[in-house]
Amino acid sequence: MRKVEQSSWVGDQRDFIDAPHVFSQQHISIGRYGGNSAAGQTKNEDGCLVWSHPIQGWEFSIVVDAHHTAESANLIIQYIKENEEVLLQIFSNDNVQKMFTQLDAKIISLFQSESFIRRCERVNGEASCLLIARKESYVWWFSVGDCVLFVFHDDFAALQQFQVNQRQFFEWIGKENTFAQTVPSYSHGIRQLRKGWNTLFLTTDGIIECPSEPYNDPVLIQKELERKSLEEGVLTLFETIRKNNVRDNTTIITWKVYVEEEGMKPSQ
């Protein structure tokens, strides 16, 4: 059986300051940009992880935006990798409903475990993170903090529906840890994709909080991705925020999914 394609990275390994970089893992484009040194940037505290299996037909991806140091990003990425075996078993489930139910329960269980909470206490800083899994015509998401998932499709765009999760500015995992609270705060859900081509786009907040706000409207991101290949589109996004002297790190994961069946429609 074909193996799972995997890649992961954290910004303290290579910071990509002044040097945006985009590559593809199968059909998934992954972009890292550390921001501009001229704007005062000296480090990259983002991280990401991408797993995909073309035969089983799924993708799993994470973007992480850490604060203070990259330690919390390293912890989250490493912790998910430590639990690779059980997660891959879940992704291999042919029953997509059971797969998402099991995945939801497992991720919550992992983050709420006492051993993980103790590890979080020992890191410097904390992180926002966004986990995404896609199988068949559904995308599952789990969000802590202010990273963003957009799904681009003409049906959604016609109704100005782009952003899947809402950004939350007082949630983190790490030294300050939502899962160490009496009741943890996070958001999660499942979205049905539409018939035809859907573009999934995960990003940390550098592109959103760039000076002059060149991409304050998600439709502008969609247009850049549709104009060229995804790799070229992501490079164009990076070049635009570079010219606007962005300081913050930006990490992007994006890919296209073709859905054959019709999605839900209202009664006539």
List the structure tokens of 233: 């589109």
Residue 167: which pLDDT band, with cuts at 50, 70 and 90?
very high
Cβ within 8 Å of residue 118, ≥6 positions away? none
Taking the mean position of all CA atoms in its chain, how far away is CA 111? 17
pLDDT, tens digit, 9 for 90 and up, residues 112-144: 999 999 999 999 999 999 999 999 999 999 999
DSSP summary character for residue 122: T
Greatest distance between any 2 Cα atoms in the chain: 57
pLDDT higher than 70, residue 1: no
Run of H or E including 191: strand 187-192
Instruction: Count CA within 13 A, CB hemisphere, residue 89.
Output: 5
Q: What pLDDT is recorded for position 22?
A: 97
pLDDT, tens digit, 9 for 90 and up, residues 171-216: 999 999 999 999 999 999 999 999 999 999 999 999 999 999 999 9
Instruction: Answer whether 163's CB lies under 8 Å from 148's CB.
Output: yes
